[in-house]
Chain A
Amino acid sequence: MTDHAAPDRADTSPRRETRSRLFLKYVGLFVAVVCVALVINGLLEVWGSYREHKAALIRIQHEQAEAAATKISQFIKEIENQVGWTTQLLWSAETIEQRRFDALRLLRQVPAITELAQVDASGKEQLRVSRLAMDVLGSGLDLSNEPKFTEAVKNKVYYGPVYFRRESEPYMTLSLAGTRRDAGVSIAEVNLKLIWDVVSRIKVGERGQAYVVDARGRLIAHPDISLVLRNTDMTRLAQVQAAQRGTATSENEIPTATDLQGRTVLSAFAPVAPLGWTVFVELPLGEAYQPLMASIQRSALVLLAALCLAAIAGIFLARRMVVPIQALRTGAARIGSGDLSQRIEVKTGDELEALADQFNDMAGRLQESYTGLENKVEQRTQELAQSVKELRALGEVTQAVNSTVDLETVLSTIVAKAAQLSNTEAGAIYVFDEVTEEFRLRATYGLDSGAVAEIRDRHIRLGETAIGEAALQRMPIQIPDLQDDPSSTLDIIIRAGFRALLIVPLLSNDQIIGALVVRRRLPGEFSKSAVELLQTFGAQSVLAIQNARLFESVGARTRELAKSLDDLRTAQDRLVQTEKLASLGQLTAGIAHEIKNPLNFVNNFSSVSSELVGELRDALKGVNLDSKLRTEIDEIADMLQGNLEKVVQHGKRADSIVKNMLLHSRQGSGEHRFVDVNAVVEESLNLAYHGARAEKQGFNITLEKSFDPGAGEVDLFPQEITRVLLNLIMNGFYAATKRKAEANGVDYEPTLAAATKSLGDSVEIRIRDNGTGIPPEVKEKMFNPFFTTKPAGEGTGLGLSISHDIIVKQHGGSIEVDTKPGQYTEFRIVLPRQAAILANRERSA
């Protein structure tokens, strides 16, 4: 099954892709359908409301403009009406004063009129009443050619052009002719600043405004009066130009234009009928379209919400479709990839479920036909596996035989494999001993150690038990049930609960080598293949045993040869050392002899001189000398004598040293005799000390002597013992000096102690130093020849080895060492009083 896993996994990613593609298709389609509907609806809605809104705006603004125009016309008409009263009367009917009074009243009633003049029918000014200047009566000014008179007479009413008084305030001349021919004309100067009240009251949205422009494009009224007072020219605005050209926009369209502040505005205008003025109503575009924007925003929100809903609905529907298809697809894919136990779960109650059921049927049939095939394959596989196992085991055994010479390991491997492959619980290999003609257990498998130990003690002879039998017959023997034939094996085996045995004799050219046994707890015949298998293992065992025997004999030979080579080397080394020492001894003896002669002179003449000083003193006794001189001579003589005695004393000491050197260098072991032990130790100490000082300048060590006066004499070879002691003492000096060097200034005093002690029949000598001590690994080997810890060239390594030989072999004594690394080393020598004699006797014997 696992073999199908890889293609299965490889299928996964494209399948997922497919799933999402279908899923997305469903969702996308759904969302698209809903959205298209909504977007179209929204756009239509927005378009509709835009058109309606725009139309409404146009209407409103036009209405506002018209209303404003009407108001302004009314304002002017009002003035006209008021002025009209003054033209009702005939000039002859009233006094000029009366007229003036009427005019003043008119001025009070109409604040916009700054000046009113009345002209008679002939065009002569009769009266001028002003708010600013002094009133003028009957000036008779001829206005008959002025347009304000002629036009008024012709048309009954005349609206003069707008002019800016003192270049600041907009004014207009308004003339009215009376209805009767001789009523004359009233001319009013109207301050148009007062239209401001009208214009500033027109509310156009929040930030919109209305303004009035005259026929020449001059600003007459504006909510910002500053603009009017500055006499602003409006003709640079596109909308004003358009209005003046008369190409005025049609009723239904409002052009967007730029106002004085540079804002984009919706502009509408209406003419002020009789005056030739135009009222403009303007609303910033942003403000105008604000409700429209809000509407669009709302539409967008609705669209967004609908989009979300559509997406959710789409996902829901797509899931309902895609999930069962998906289940079908996954199930089919699994079945296709071999998982026949797979059943597809679709509970939709429709065609998809029927499809799933058919898939399941198909899978069931496939599974049935598969099962038979699988069983067969399994059986064959098992057989193959068994053969492979056997071959592998055999290979391992061969490997073991070839790779190791340890017989136990090889045989253990063989018996273990044999038992395992023959389906038995235990096994053993016995090796036949040709000398005793017995089988001995060499390797076991599957037995507890108690049983093994017991079997090991039992010796099986030829012909005894089934093993002996098999060996004799040189044939494998099997015992299917031990209970039928208990004598054929050891009781231990039966007690251990084994019921069946198979024995294969191990033979080499018909010669019995041993036997391979396997034991089984279940009774029954062993198969032929098992017997053959065991025979194969048996043959391997024979090989292994023979190999081991060969190896063993080779090993033994080699060891013997190595031993004799070692012995030869030791002997040779000793010979070389002895030769060296002999020649050194000869040299020393020669030198010592040469020194001895001059030393004799020194000694002899100094003792003679000492006597001569005594004689000199005697000779001087008789001479009369003053006491002072005598005292002085006595003193000198005493000093001389003292000096000479010292010369004698030290000469004797030198003599002793030379003697010792001679003694030491004398060839051979010399004569053995009874010697004072203390003297020997003392001499050795002196010799070593002086030797060391001679060798190394500044050498210093504290010597502690503790001699037992009862040590007495011992029969020994003095030169040999001296060599031993010198060797030990020099070693002690070396160790102490080394430790001092290592101590490096720390308070340390190198000390060497020598002690003797009588032990009755024997004497003990101890040489102890407080040096570096001897580490355990060195202590083990230090009596071996050639072993040394000193740097190359400083020692031969023969010292302790020879010392050991001298003490133990020559004198029958013992030498022991006691040491603690970094603290001390003590050698203890025990010599029997009759040592040399005993040893010599032994040797001669």
Chain B
Amino acid sequence: MAYERRQCDRMRRRDFIAALAGSAAGWPFVVRAQQTRPAKLGVLLVDKREPFSRVFWEGLREFGYIDGQDMQVEYRSAEGKLDRLPALAAELVNLKVDIIVASETPAVQAAKRATTEIPIVMAPSGDPVGTGLISSLSRPGGNVTGLSAATSELAGKSLELIREILPGARRVAALADPTNAFTRSFLAQIHASAKAAGLEIQDVMLDGTQDFEPIFAGMASGGVDALVVQPTLPRAPIIALARKHRLATVSGNRAFADAGGLMSYAGSLADRYRNAAPYVDKILKGARPVDLPVQQPTKFELVINLKTAKALGIAVPHAMLTRADEVIE
């Protein structure tokens, strides 16, 4: 209070002096022009643009970026066909974007192969140390930084969820993409957790060339109760076939549950997409990717699709519903 009053007194005196000297001196007024060239951002996705774009932009807007005005974003999506990623990454490099934001490991990998100059922000990538994208979380090294998704750790958590929602389940198939670098740590984690969960694991490799139908039919007849789906696999056909063959599905990507999968357990959308925005901002302001440590998710979300559960004839336990962060009805 004393400080404020003092300030007040001084203000009054300042006014007096200003009135006295006002006629003698005019204060120069400097207006600085803002840099006008919009930043150019390349976004490389493995599947649909949403919800990535929406959540990511929420983050960018917090830093004051306006789409099309001071930030121009080029989206490239493989639409589920991972073999298209290298070409798309090259395209972005040719566009001379300032930063490439790549979501999921295959996209990051494609981007990293396409350029060692342009900074790459992962949004996110599972186990980036394990897949060799970065050397360590605190000091990534190279032109890659961003968010790590704890997907491999969560893969074990997926088995727990299956056991809880289907207490009778014995056999679980792990659907993985053989071309994805992440697959190894993904499967390793599942196998490591299987014993504790009391589940038998069957590895099923899916690449873009196969007909999924016989594989799914085989799984259904082979006594598989549930599927743990690697997030980068094409969502739509897997969800459709799983429903058809009445297989419960769980995945480390929320979009999976939204699209009709039974469950997803993953870092929150903010942790997955939105928190990439600070990296973009820092890099645009001159920070080097080497100096930006990789962040891990802190908040995890369990999403249960009750419609799918009903369709599959699964009665979700009350405890599960209480635990769930979101229930789709």
Q: A134-B196, A225-B295 are contacts. A305–B21 as well, Cβ < 8 Å?
A: yes
Query: Smallest CB–CB gap between B149 and chain A, Å?
Result: 11
B294 on the A face (CB < 8 A): yes
Alpha-carbon distance between A248 and B286 when the two chains are bound, in angstroms: 36
Alpha-carbon distance between A108 and B325 when the two chains are bound, in angstroms: 8
Contact of A168 among B6, B294, B299 (CB under 8 A): B294
Contact with A along B203-246 (1 / 0, CB 8 A): 00000000000000000000000000000000000000000000
B30 on the A face (CB < 8 A): no
B179 on the A face (CB < 8 A): no
A101 on the B face (CB < 8 A): yes
**Inter-chain contact B137/A132, CB cutoff 8 Å:** no
**Inter-chain contact B14/A168, CB cutoff 8 Å:** no
Chain B positions within 8 Å of A193 at CB level:
298
Q: A56-B3, A191-B298, A229-B295 are contacts. A134–B156 as well, Cβ < 8 Å?
A: yes
**Inter-chain contact A111/B156, CB cutoff 8 Å:** no
A465 on the B face (CB < 8 A): no
A105 on the B face (CB < 8 A): yes
Closest B residue, CB atoms, query A114: B298
Alpha-carbon distance between A52 and B7 when the two chains are bound, in angstroms: 10
**Inter-chain contact A167/B300, CB cutoff 8 Å:** no
Alpha-carbon distance between A167 and B3 when the two chains are bound, in angstroms: 45
Query: Smallest CB–CB gap between A56 and chain B, Å?
Result: 4
A653 on the B face (CB < 8 A): no
Closest B residue, CB atoms, query A134: B160
Alpha-carbon distance between A52 and B14 when the two chains are bound, in angstroms: 17
Query: Smallest CB–CB gap between A707 and chain B, Å?
Result: 117
Contact of B136 among A59, A104, A114, A167 (CB under 8 A): A167
Contact with B along A128-151 (1 / 0, CB 8 A): 000111111000000000000000
Query: Smallest CB–CB gap between B197 and chain A, Å?
Result: 6
Alpha-carbon distance between A167 and B148 when the two chains are bound, in angstroms: 14
Interface residues of A in 272-312 (CB under 8 A from B): 291, 295, 298, 301-302, 305
**Inter-chain contact A132/B138, CB cutoff 8 Å:** no
Closest B residue, CB atoms, query A308: B24
Chain A positions within 8 Å of B157 at CB level:
131-134
Q: A108-B323, A298-B14, A301-B21 are contacts. A134–B197 as well, Cβ < 8 Å?
A: yes
Alpha-carbon distance between A305 and B294 when the two chains are bound, in angstroms: 59
**Inter-chain contact A229/B137, CB cutoff 8 Å:** yes
Query: Smallest CB–CB gap between B157 and chain A, Å?
Result: 6
**Inter-chain contact B298/A134, CB cutoff 8 Å:** no
Query: Smallest CB–CB gap between A76 and chain B, Å?
Result: 17
Interface residues of A in 336-388 (CB under 8 A from B): none
Chain B positions within 8 Å of A298 at CB level:
13-14, 17
Alpha-carbon distance between A134 and B161 when the two chains are bound, in angstroms: 9
Contact with B along A33-76 (1 / 0, CB 8 A): 00000000000000001001000100110000000000000000
**Inter-chain contact B17/A169, CB cutoff 8 Å:** no
A166 on the B face (CB < 8 A): yes
Alpha-carbon distance between A167 and B160 when the two chains are bound, in angstroms: 27
Chain A positions within 8 Å of B300 at CB level:
131-132
Query: Smallest CB–CB gap between A75 and chain B, Å?
Result: 14
Alpha-carbon distance between A226 and B140 when the two chains are bound, in angstroms: 12
Alpha-carbon distance between A226 and B291 when the two chains are bound, in angstroms: 8
Q: A167-B136, A231-B138 are contacts. A49–B156 as well, Cβ < 8 Å?
A: no
Chain B positions within 8 Å of A302 at CB level:
17
Alpha-carbon distance between A136 and B137 when the two chains are bound, in angstroms: 27
Closest A residue, CB atoms, query B25: A301
**Inter-chain contact A230/B139, CB cutoff 8 Å:** yes
Alpha-carbon distance between A166 and B134 when the two chains are bound, in angstroms: 14
**Inter-chain contact A295/B10, CB cutoff 8 Å:** yes
Query: Smallest CB–CB gap between A349 and chain B, Å?
Result: 36
A477 on the B face (CB < 8 A): no
Chain A positions within 8 Å of B21 at CB level:
301, 305
Chain A interface secondary structure, helix, strand, loop or mixed? helix
Chain A positions within 8 Å of B136 at CB level:
167-168
Closest B residue, CB atoms, query A225: B295
B154 on the A face (CB < 8 A): yes
**Inter-chain contact A194/B10, CB cutoff 8 Å:** no
**Inter-chain contact A132/B298, CB cutoff 8 Å:** no
B98 on the A face (CB < 8 A): no
Interface residues of A in 157-200 (CB under 8 A from B): 166-169, 191, 193-194
**Inter-chain contact B154/A168, CB cutoff 8 Å:** no
Alpha-carbon distance between A437 and B120 when the two chains are bound, in angstroms: 148
Chain A positions within 8 Å of B156 at CB level:
133-134
Closest A residue, CB atoms, query B324: A108
**Inter-chain contact B193/A134, CB cutoff 8 Å:** yes
Closest B residue, CB atoms, query A299: B17
Chain A positions within 8 Å of B197 at CB level:
134
**Inter-chain contact A104/B3, CB cutoff 8 Å:** no
Alpha-carbon distance between A48 and B111 when the two chains are bound, in angstroms: 62
Chain B positions within 8 Å of A49 at CB level:
6, 10
Chain A positions within 8 Å of B2 at CB level:
56
Interface residues of B in 104-140 (CB under 8 A from A): 136-139
Alpha-carbon distance between A49 and B2 when the two chains are bound, in angstroms: 12
Query: Smallest CB–CB gap between B163 and chain A, Å?
Result: 9
Query: Smallest CB–CB gap between A99 and chain B, Å?
Result: 12
Q: A133-B157, A168-B296, A194-B298 are contacts. A101–B319 as well, Cβ < 8 Å?
A: yes
Alpha-carbon distance between A305 and B153 when the two chains are bound, in angstroms: 74
Name the residue among B7, B138, B139, B319 with the largest chain A CB count within 10 angstroms: B138
Closest B residue, CB atoms, query A48: B6
Alpha-carbon distance between A392 and B65 when the two chains are bound, in angstroms: 112
Query: Smallest CB–CB gap between B328 and chain A, Å?
Result: 18
**Inter-chain contact A230/B293, CB cutoff 8 Å:** yes
Query: Smallest CB–CB gap between B65 and chain A, Å?
Result: 19
Alpha-carbon distance between A301 and B25 when the two chains are bound, in angstroms: 11
Contact of A111 among B139, B295, B299 (CB under 8 A): B299
Interface residues of B in 278-329 (CB under 8 A from A): 282, 291-296, 298-300, 319, 322-323, 325
Closest A residue, CB atoms, query B279: A226
**Inter-chain contact B296/A169, CB cutoff 8 Å:** yes
**Inter-chain contact B160/A135, CB cutoff 8 Å:** yes
Chain A positions within 8 Å of B299 at CB level:
111
B89 on the A face (CB < 8 A): no
Contact with B along A501-544 (1 / 0, CB 8 A): 00000000000000000000000000000000000000000000
Chain A positions within 8 Å of B31 at CB level:
none
Chain A positions within 8 Å of B296 at CB level:
166, 168-169
Alpha-carbon distance between A225 and B296 when the two chains are bound, in angstroms: 12
B165 on the A face (CB < 8 A): no
Alpha-carbon distance between A56 and B6 when the two chains are bound, in angstroms: 10
Q: A49-B10, A229-B295, A230-B138 are contacts. A133–B17 as well, Cβ < 8 Å?
A: no
Query: Smallest CB–CB gap between B146 and chain A, Å?
Result: 12
Chain A positions within 8 Å of B196 at CB level:
134, 136
Alpha-carbon distance between A301 and B22 when the two chains are bound, in angstroms: 11
B150 on the A face (CB < 8 A): yes
B33 on the A face (CB < 8 A): no
Closest A residue, CB atoms, query B292: A226
Q: A167-B138, A305-B21 are contacts. A132–B293 as well, Cβ < 8 Å?
A: no
Query: Smallest CB–CB gap between B279 and chain A, Å?
Result: 9
Contact of B298 among A105, A111, A136, A295 (CB under 8 A): A111
**Inter-chain contact B17/A301, CB cutoff 8 Å:** yes
28 A-B pairs within 8 Å (CB atoms) are namely A49-B6, A52-B6, A59-B3, A60-B3, A101-B322, A114-B298, A131-B300, A132-B153, A132-B154, A133-B153, A133-B156, A134-B160, A134-B193, A136-B196, A167-B136, A168-B136, A168-B137, A168-B294, A169-B298, A194-B298, A226-B292, A229-B138, A229-B295, A230-B293, A298-B13, A298-B14, A298-B17, A301-B17
List the 5 closest pairs (A to B, CB-CB), nearest first. A229-B293, A168-B137, A56-B3, A132-B153, A134-B160
Q: B residues within 8 Å of A by Cβ? A: 2-3, 6-7, 10, 13-14, 17, 20-21, 136-139, 150, 153-154, 156-157, 159-160, 193, 196-197, 282, 291-296, 298-300, 319, 322-323, 325
Please name 7 further chain A to chain B contacts, defined as beta carbons within 8 Å, in addition to the given A111-B298, A134-B159, sorted by A numbering: A101-B322, A135-B160, A168-B137, A194-B298, A295-B10, A305-B20, A305-B21
